[in-house]
Amino acid sequence: MKDLQDGFRLETHAGRFPISKGELIAKIADKEGILCMPYDTIDREVIEAAADLRAISTYSVGYEHIDLQCTKSRGILVGYTPDVLTRATADLAFALMLDVMRRVSEGDRLIRSGGWQQVFGPCDFLGTDLETKTVGILGPGRIGLSFAEKAQAFGMKVVYHGNGRLSERQERQAGIEHVSLNQLFSESDIVSLHIPHTKRTHDMVNRSLLAKMKRGAFIVNTSRGRVINQKDLVLALQNGDLAGAALDVFYDEPLGADSPLAKMENVVLTPHMGSSTKETRENMARLAVLNLKMAMAGRRPKCAV
């Protein structure tokens, strides 16, 4: 923030809750640049309310909350924060996978509720080994590939499916194998989602894909909640078709404690915190500010959408 005070008239929205659309529209009217959060919807109505707007910088790698058609037609430069959050997000995806497969949160809840009675039962808290399992990565982008590296270090086989196919060299280097979407879901013991939310990926993981998964498979999502049809996921979990799910993102956020997901022992939930490490959030802030400053100076942001 200090960085932005130099040379700019700065107005900030304080507080833990997002600015309302009405307030944003009123406040943006005389602004030339905006630094927004992933939960701020910067749609046509907002953009049109700001006649002088020429720079948008989002503190996120996702940018589906910004109307890019509109920014393009207005010549507004848009920056985002890729790369700096790759490891942190892949780490969380991995932590979630470990948690749901080894039942870490479930064990934690047992102790806190005073329910741990028997010292050691040979069949207590049986989880699932990671080693030798196949993990399917949907979306072999930066985060998906970083996740793949970790999975390999744990002795897992990694297959992937994405929009396009990696080059043979990239596949060899990463030690991962391309499969069809159907194969990804039918052959994997765990599917981890690393795709953006677009019109094409909306509700992509639905009843029909979930039905292809092995009975006893797991699903991990650290990308965007709306790439999964959450009702279909709940059904698959309730029917016992899936062994468990570990989710950092949801159809609607924040997820309430009354969600059926929050009532299932075999579901691990975290509050959209994939990039949330001190180091990463600091780097995201620096990059978002740099992007904004460059765009305000009429230059292409360091990380431009």
Which residues belong to the active site? Answer: 224, 253, 272
Binding residue for ligand DGY, selected from 38, 140, 144, 301, defined by CB under 6 A: 38
Q: If binding is defined by CB under 6 A, does position 61 make contact with ligand DGY?
A: yes
CB of 236 to ligand DGY, least distance (A): 24
Q: For ligand DGY, which is the closer residue by CB, 32 or 253? A: 253
Q: Which stretch binds ligand DGY (CB under 6 A): 54-62, 141-149, 168-176, 255-263?
A: 54-62
Q: If binding is defined by CB under 6 A, does position 237 make contact with ligand DGY?
A: no
Of 84-103, binders to ligand DGY (CB under 6 A) are 85
Rounded Cα distance, 208 and 140, in Å: 22
Residue among 88, 217, 256, 18 at smallest CA distance from 230: 256
Rounded Cα distance, 87 and 89, in Å: 5
Residue among 36, 81, 51, 35 at smallest CA distance from 292: 35
Q: If binding is defined by CB under 6 A, does position 60 make contact with ligand DGY?
A: yes
Residue among 126, 87, 81, 78 at smallest CA distance from 103: 126
CB of 62 to ligand DGY, least distance (A): 3
Q: For ligand DGY, which is the closer residue by CB, 129 or 282? A: 282
Q: For ligand DGY, which is the closer residue by CB, 97 or 176? A: 97
Q: If binding is defined by CB under 6 A, does position 288 make contact with ligand DGY?
A: no
Amino acid present at 191: V
Q: For ligand DGY, which is the closer residue by CB, 50 or 85? A: 85
Q: If binding is defined by CB under 6 A, does position 18 make contact with ligand DGY?
A: no
Q: If binding is defined by CB under 6 A, does position 79 make contact with ligand DGY?
A: no
Q: For ligand DGY, which is the closer residue by CB, 82 or 127? A: 82
Binding residue for ligand DGY, selected from 192, 275, 280, 291, defined by CB under 6 A: 275
Q: If binding is defined by CB under 6 A, does position 144 make contact with ligand DGY?
A: no
Q: Find out whether the peptide bond into 254 is cis, omega within 30 degrees of 0.
A: yes
Q: Return the structure tokens found at 12.
A: 């900030």
Q: If binding is defined by CB under 6 A, does position 62 make contact with ligand DGY?
A: yes
Q: How many residues bind ligand DGY (CB under 6 A)?
A: 7
Kindly list the residues in this chain that would bind ligand DGY in the complex (CB under 6 A). 38, 60-62, 85, 274-275
